[in-house]
Amino acid sequence: MPLFDKVLLVEDDPITILVCKRTIEISGFANEVRSVINGQEAIDYLKDFQNFPDLILLDLNMPILNGWEFLEWYSEWAKSVSKVPEVYILSSTVDPEDQKKAMEYPYVKGFISKPLTREHLAKLQNEHSSGNGSV
The domains located in the chain, with CATH, are 4-116 (3.40.50.2300)
pLDDT at 58 over 80: yes
Measured CA to CA, the distance from residue 90 to residue 88 in angstroms comes to 6
- What mean pLDDT, rounded, does the chain reach? 91
pLDDT the model gives residue 128: 72
Per-residue pLDDT of 93-106, as tens digits, reads: 878 999 999 999 99
Q: How is residue 78 annotated by DSSP?
A: G
Residue spans of alpha helices (H) in 2-95: 14-27, 39-48, 67-77
**The pTM is what?**
0.92
CB distance 133 to 103 below 8 Å: yes
Per-residue pLDDT of 15-55, as tens digits, reads: 999 999 999 999 999 999 999 999 999 999 999 877 789 99
CB distance 91 to 60 below 8 Å: yes
The average pLDDT across 119-130 equals 84
Per-residue pLDDT of 60-95, as tens digits, reads: 999 999 999 999 999 999 998 888 999 999 999 878
pLDDT category of residue 132 using cuts at 50, 70 and 90: low
How many C-beta atoms surround the C-beta of residue 67 within 10 A?
25
H or E segment at 98? helix 96-102
